Structure 1
């Protein structure tokens, strides 16, 4: 059985931080999401539509 490496640094994964190898890589991934480094495909949402959902 082969295991996938850490998606950030490609080192072996550690169960405690799955799917990452360390808290550092986990935090780097989270920072990418917060900093718009990743995006979910689709049309952009209009701020007016988001406000109406609340």
Structure 2
């Protein structure tokens, strides 16, 4: 008895954050190694940054209430 097994992908393809093409399993969430390396390059050169408050007491909403 021969049955055709259907294999579903682990993740649904998403648009590549760099170029918008569908992502591949090998380079997820990117479409290629080139787009993956472009993103990494931006992180390493500081183009991407997580914003930080200058004074952390102001970031919490505490105005010197200790």
Q: TM-score w.r.t. structure 2 length?
A: 0.58
Give the deviation of 1:41 after TM superposition.
1.5
Does residue 10 in structure 1 map to residue 20 in structure 2? yes
Query: How far apart in 1 are the matches of 2:24 and 2:13?
Result: 11
Q: Which runs of 5+ in 2 are unaligned?
A: 1-11, 55-66
Q: Which runs of 5+ in 1 are unaligned?
A: 45-54
1:5-40 Cα offsets, whole Å, 9 max, x none, are 000000000010001000000000000001111001
1:22 to 32, 39, 44: 32
Residues matched between the structures, number: 43
Which structure has the larger Rg?
2
Q: Which one has the bigger helix percentage? A: 1
RMSD: 1.6
Larger relative contact order (CA 8 Å, sep ≥ 6): 1
Runs of 4+ aligned residues of structure 1 deviating over 4 Å after TM superposition are: none
